[in-house]
Amino acid sequence: MIRYRVGDMDKVLTPYTLYLEEEDGVVLEPEVFRPQKEVLYYEEFYTGRNTRRLQGANLGFGLEFEQGLEALDVAAFVARLRGTNFSDTPTRLISGGRASMSTVPLTSYGSQVNLGANVVYTWDDLNSGNANEGLRNWVLSTDFDIAVLDNPSFNLSVIGEGGLSTVSLSERVREATGLPTTVTGPDGGSVVIQDSAFVVNSIFEDDDTFIEVGLRSVYKPLDLSVTARFVNVGPDFFSAAAQSKRVDFSRALGVYNRLGNDRLERLPTLFDLTRDAELYTFRVSEELMAYDPRYSNVLPYGNATPNRRGARLGIDYTPAEGALDASLDLALLTELRGQGTTELKDFLHLRASADVDVATLTGLNRLFDVTLGLQVEDTSRGGVEVEQVDLSSLLIEAGFAFEIYNRLDVLAGTKLRTASGREYIPIFENFNDVRDFPAPFDIDDQETLLGAGLRYRFRDDVYLTVQFQHLSYTNDATPAEGVTLPPEDYSFGQIFALYSMFF
């Protein structure tokens, strides 16, 4: 079977090669905050889970076998990430693909092997426009899922992925080719002619590796899975198509962006992360993007966050037919290389969520859904006073949707975030090298976002909602010199009506 596609396509490979991580400030979004978020997703082409919207061509084929191998699937793509401005911005392209194979059961225990090979290449076409410098980024990986035991009740597998990245800044220069020749000019004088051509040289280059390996066990009667993994992502690992974030914290807010008599810029809040289109982007960045440690400091770039080593534990309970979906992810990590010091940071990351179908539990013949989310992060570093880091943050989400009349729902929810302590936010250069540190980021703040309203569902994908939402922000920190924080506590609210129709 041969498959092809030309034009818009949604692509995803692995978390280290081509992947779009969820935005910061979210564990399991309460239903009341989703309508405006859905508008953002539509505008930024977030059309599938962790997929990136690309424009280009995709070609693939699959083969099935009668013995030994069960299936072989190969797919390759090429797409344009941006066009040239015919001046200092070259055309940026991305290409790559995946080859995967699976075997038939190899033993009486149900042992089976699934292997995959991935490649992604992001580069600037220096023949477009007049730009003299451009990005070159290769990422190659192999992933595997090897079932050691598989029967109707239980599955035990060895899983993982490993690979490498190379990244360089290339320069286009004109160099002489061949030997110079002397010819007679129109006026009888001698003219020296030297052939030349443009060549591309690398003016900066770096490479690094990553590995993730572990065990996954699944108890099938309960759809309960437990995963334990060791991860090691090198300090110089760079994958533009996997590390680019949805939220660009270097951008200015588009709504209520200044506060106080001094008109100081306001920091992003949970209110902004649910609605401000100026913060969101679908672009692939050519360097590690800015992040806000109050929302994500341990894994700001997802699994592909560089300079991390440690253990991760995951538990998922996701029955196909049941009243509860729950998950837990615990990470205990450390740096491989210190940032500005030989001291290393230690990280703790805990995420837990639960989606409870109360209607199924109680036998109600109507919508009644409760969602809960929790994220806890802690970052610490020892050393002398100037080296010390101690930052803790907490994010809690809770919400429900209840059908009070036929297709008429009451929605309510809250988000609470607190952060306190001290951290240094690095400024990057050469893709992911630390260039400098600004003043220490001292924070002791809290924000609470409340929302409530009504929603009428004309159909599953067509609804009207009227809501009131309120944010309160308090800040007890004394900002260090050079750090801008809101001058005082503040709060504001919003009343809105939104009609949504997807087709």
Write the pLDDT tens digit of every residue in 435-446.
777 778 888 999
Spatial contact of 266 and 259, defined as CB atoms under 8 Å apart: yes
Tell which phi-psi region holds residue 482, choosing left (phi > 0), alpha (psi between -120 and 50) or beta: left
Q: Quick check: 442 and 411 in contact, CB under 8 A?
A: no
Residues 6+ apart with CB under 8 A from 299: 305, 308, 331, 349
Q: Is the pLDDT of residue 37 over 70?
A: yes
What does the longest C-alpha to C-alpha distance in the chain come to?
103
Strand positions, DSSP E, 84-195: 91-103, 112-125, 133-150, 154-176, 181-184, 190-193
Across 13-17, 126-130, 363-367, least confident range: 126-130
Count of C-beta atoms within a 10 Å radius of residue 413: 23
Contact 498, 465 (CB under 8 A): yes
Name the least confident of 10-14, 84-88, 140-144, 385-389: 84-88
Inter-residue contact 38 to 274 (CB < 8 Å): no
Instruction: Provide the CA 99 distance to its chain's centre, in angstroms.
Output: 23
If you ran DSSP here, which 8-state letter would residue 104 be given? P
For residue 479, pLDDT beyond 60: no
Tell me what pLDDT residue 74 has.
96
**What pLDDT score does 464 carry?**
97
pLDDT value of position 200: 61
Beta strand 462-475 pairing with 441-459: antiparallel
Residue partners of 459: CB distance under 8 A and separation at least 6: none
Residue 231's Cβ-side half-sphere holds a number of Cα atoms within 13 Å equal to: 26
Q: Which of 89-103, 193-207, 273-287 has the lowest mean pLDDT?
A: 193-207
SS (H, E, C) 420-432: EEEECCCEEECCC
pLDDT band at residue 456 using 50, 70 and 90 as cut-offs: very high
β partners of residue 142: 117, 162
What is the rounded distance in angstroms from the CA atom of residue 414 to the CA atom of residue 446?
A: 13
Measured CA to CA, the distance from residue 493 to residue 503 in angstroms comes to: 31
- pLDDT of 348 reads 98
Contact 116, 98 (CB under 8 A): yes
User: Coil, strand or helix: which one is 266?
Assistant: coil
* Chain mean pLDDT for the chain: 89
43 has pLDDT over 60: yes
Q: Is the pLDDT of residue 201 over 70?
A: no
**Phi and psi angles of residue 294, each rounded to the nearest 5 degrees, phi first:** -70, -25
Residues 6+ apart with CB under 8 A from 329: 312, 313, 314, 349, 350, 351, 352
CA distances for 80 relative to 141, 171, 181, 280, angstroms: 22, 20, 42, 20
Q: How far apart are CA 495 and CA 470, in angstroms?
A: 9
Residue with tokens 């809690």: 396
How does pLDDT run across 378-391, given as a tens digit for each residue? 999 999 988 899 99
Q: For residue 229, what pLDDT band results from cuts at 50, 70 and 90?
A: very high
Which of the four pLDDT bands, split at 50, 70 and 90, describes residue 176? low
Q: How far is CA 140 from CA 30, 120, 158, 167, 302, in A?
A: 37, 7, 20, 12, 18
pLDDT reported for residue 108: 81
Residue-level pLDDT at 190: 60
Sign of CA dihedral 192, 197, 203, 208: negative
Contact 257, 480 (CB under 8 A): no
Residue 186 has pLDDT above 90, yes or no: no
Higher per-residue confidence, 106 vs 150? 150
Instruction: Inform me whether the pLDDT recorded for 482 exceeds 70.
Output: no
In Å, how far from its chain's centre is CA 317? 23
* Range with lowest mean pLDDT among 366-370, 382-386, 407-411, 429-433: 429-433
Q: What is the pLDDT of residue 481?
A: 54
Helix, strand or coil for residue 15?
A: coil
364 vs 359: CA distance, rounded Å:
5
**pLDDT tens string 114-133:** 999 999 999 998 887 777 78
The residues, any chain, with a CB within 8 Å of residue 6's CB and separated by 6 or more, are: 56, 57, 58
